[in-house]
Amino acid sequence: MGTVFPHPTTGQYVARWYWKEGKKRIQKQKSCGFGEEGKKAAEKLVAEMDAKIEHKKKSLLDSLTGDIVYFDELSQHYFAADALKEPKRWKTDWKKLLNDHLLEDLGQLPMTQLTEGYVTALVMRAFPEASPVTQSAYLNYIKRMFNFGIERGYLKENPLRFVKKKNSPQKHLLLDLEMIRKLRETASKHSAQAIEILANTGVRPGPSELLSLRYDTVLWDKSAIRVWSAKNQRWRTIPLKASFLKKLRAWKKENKSGYIVEYRGKQIMSCAGAFRRTCDKLKIDKSVEQYDIRHWFCTQLLSNGVPVKTVSVLMDHSSAKMTLDRYAHVIIGDTEKAIEHLPDLD
């Protein structure tokens, strides 16, 4: 409901009204003049805005199919909501995953008939290759959508209310320096460059970071490179060793596309296959992937005493806590070594 009150400084009557979009409270106000006329104008405006807000709520509910709400209808309102404060890339990617893998089956039943078991089985069937952590993340995205539906009055109870997010397990080192050197020496030119970049920067493999790196983001005078995080929608600056910067200068002379990792003069969207073939040549376990070089980078920094907060920034983790959770075993191992340096009292 709106309110009318005299402004404490100017004395003008003010009309104020608000509405909610999800958990967000949006408030507007307007000065309507002095005296009795100003008061009446403010009351009239408040009444009009209250009526509009109620009409908007009713229209939104009426647009749903009576008392029976289907998931595809909920998803349309969810992605259209102004108050949905999620990264644009996330919304685009999640919407595509829903449309390609889940919406057809999820949309078959009214939301009141969707159960935790049904939705969980559907996600596992749609993404059989995904890790349990990734499957859990998808379930929590759907859970978030159900919560949105409850806030908007589309349903009363979240069928995934007992689903808990699984955290990523601690990362154990699968590669050492000697193995990474052998991989680089055996790999094709573009794959070897990718390995070198990963080992020196710790960026995420794939098109999101590694394959999007360009020479025009190298800060030559500062011995650093700027990296755009598609995941977290922000830039970060990673310092570069002088020896690696020298290699970048040499690569740049032969480069045609502007992208640091290129194949036949063009940007590539994946070099995972080339990396896998190199691993096969060296008879390296099939569980090893490019991401393990990123883990090696992080482990090296932590093992050499770089503060967790600094490592977290370089890795683009959401928080230092996340770095600790994933790499606590590395830090614990180093503290045990540190204790050995204590002198004996005897």
**172 found inside a domain:** no
**157 found inside a domain:** no
Indicate whether 269 and 185 sit together in one domain. Answer: yes
Between 336 and 206, name the one with better pLDDT: 206
Q: What is the CATH number of the domain that holds 254?
A: 1.10.443.10
Q: What is the mean pLDDT of the chain?
A: 84
Number of domains, the chain: 3
pLDDT at residue 166 is higher than 90: no
Kindly report whether the global pTM for this prediction surpasses the value 0.85: no
| 89 — pLDDT class (breaks 50, 70, 90) | low
Give the per-residue pLDDT at 28.
82
Q: Are 219 and 307 in contact (CB under 8 A)?
A: no
Q: Are 6 and 13 in contact (CB under 8 A)?
A: yes
**229 found inside a domain:** yes
pLDDT at residue 65 is higher than 50: no
Indicate whether 46 and 84 sit together in one domain. Answer: no
Indicate whether 54 and 79 sit together in one domain. Answer: no
Give the per-residue pLDDT at 241.
95
**What b-and-e string marks burial along 11-36, b requiring 16 or more CB atoms within 10 Å of the CB?**
ebbbbbbebeeeeeeeeebeebeeee
**160 found inside a domain:** no
* Domain with 76 in it: 71-151
Q: Are 226 and 215 in contact (CB under 8 A)?
A: no
| 278 — pLDDT class (breaks 50, 70, 90) | very high
| Residues 6+ away with beta carbon under 8 Å from 109 | 70, 71, 118
Give the per-residue pLDDT at 335.
58
**168 found inside a domain:** no
Q: Are strands 224-229 and 218-219 parallel, antiparallel or unpaired?
A: antiparallel
Residue type, 94: W
Q: Are 35 and 11 in contact (CB under 8 A)?
A: no
Give the per-residue pLDDT at 110.
81
Domain end call among 105, 136, 151: 151
Q: Are 14 and 27 in contact (CB under 8 A)?
A: no
Please state the separation of Cα 318 from the chain's center in Å: 9
Q: Tell me: the pLDDT tens digits for 49-64?
A: 878 777 666 555 555 4
DSSP 159-221: TTTT--PPPPPPPPP---HHHHHHHHHHS-HHHHHHHHHHHHH-PPSSTTTGGG-BGGGEEGG
- With a pLDDT cut of 70, the percent of the chain lying above it is 85
Residue 118 to residue 135: CA distance in whole angstroms:
14
